[in-house]
Structure 1
Amino acid sequence: MAEITDKIDLGAVGVWRHEKTDPELAVALEGLGYGTLWLGNVTDPELTEVERLLDATERLVLATGIVNIWSNPAEDIVRSYRRIAERHADRFLLGIGAGHREMTQEFVRPYQALNDYLDALDAGGVPVARRALAALGPRVLRLAADRSAAAHPYLVTPEHTRKAREIIGAGTLLAPEQKVVLETDRSRARAKGDGTLALYLGLSNYVANLRRLGFDDTDFADGGSGRLFDALILHGGTAEVAEGLRAHLEAGADHVTLQLLGGTGDDPDPLPGYRALAEELGIAG
């Protein structure tokens, strides 16, 4: 296996995508200065898309956000990791997580299941320095700090980022996800983002985390309150959105990964939005 350097460099800003990503878009994101491309909802234990995108790029880090531990046997993931790391050891971060009780029939004792999975990764030679853990609450954040290189909170605020940094300390990478709508008209922004937000309000782990941040039942009704929408989905022009992304870095994140919902205005193509944000953030190559 190729030599592993101590720390992986995610860059300050990355892109998080649910959708299958064409290699051409990955190359474009690399050229714009984004450090990492996060692939959500990974269902292929062979990790073929990860390898395909790494092969197409030169510097971009690929991270899984996440490999679900219930649907991807550890031995398969170990084998896939070792294959990919032979050529791309310093550009692949294996993010794992327990997913959601409502979507996983096997969801029993998830904390122990995460530990068991990490034990299997240890036994298979997957380095701690190339692992990330999806983490929201204090217990799993501490586990991420103890047994991985990075914590990857999802659907969070800069206040959560600040609290997470206090929990994990200085030695663990903190890489929160942040949803973004490039739309200055608030009603149009909500039209683009409300459906996405409503999906997560039916999942108990996200709701529990939002309660810890001070939200309550009034915020979770009818697809989410205006207060909740404003806290979880950055919206506005590029300057306003860039300021919100920087708020995570100022709160203690090492890296923030943006999930762009829709394109810019009426254009569904995400690339102009990625380009405008890269320029505003000062990362554009």
Structure 2
Amino acid sequence: PFAHDVPFYKGQTKNVLRKCGIIDPTNISHYIARDGYAALSKVLTTMTPEQVIETVERSGLRGRGGAGFPTGRKWGLVRSAPGDTKYLVCNGDEGDPGAFMDRAVLEGDPHSVLEGMLIAAYAIGVKVGYIYVRAEYPIAVEHLKIAISQAEELGFLGENILGSELSLEIRVKEGAGAFVCGEETALLMSIEGKRGMPRPRPPFPAQSGLWGEPTNINNVETYANITSIILNGADWYSRVGTETSKGTKIFSLAG
């Protein structure tokens, strides 16, 4: 039977996972064939950074890492923070027992995360990004590295992306397995090469994050939502969800 014929899948509204299991995650051509990097092209050619932030904020997307902070508002805070150097971080340190939402996305559709980060980099004004992922996810790490290499080869990462002024380098940082590094400030300490220990807040990472510079941190699922918001619009995205939290949510079932 096809997936949509199975009762378990039939009632699901797939957004972030819509390409998982359909495309080959190690072949960028498969991603491009299904509107891959079309959202990036749209923002670079038809939208200002402020318009991108406004669209994400109006969509109602909130951080999928647990705290639920409005994504567009966070991007706006980092963009307006003083400083010439800013960083972008993707939190893929999924340490909760039985949780494999981030793993499913990174293994099945890594380019959706890269494209979401590229759009965030354009909106905020960032040139360097980090993806912090569990070393216990070897397939996710492998697929990420392949995706980054292919994106660089085709000009979706690196200098003057798609002939624009946007330049972004994305680095993969493998976590050593400490559960505490899932907390954003401990994660930043780990990227800096220090012991992963939470820092007191304030200051929040949006004001003082990696190496004391303004830093935007979102998790894997949050970045993977961005492309559909840009391509389909904030109103389309906000049709699904609750009054205070819009869009779909990935859940892991275990036991």
Task: State TM-score, norm by structure 2.
Answer: 0.31
Larger RCO, structures 1/2 (Cα 8 Å, 6+ apart): 2
Greater gyration radius:
1
Task: State TM-score, norm by structure 1.
Answer: 0.28
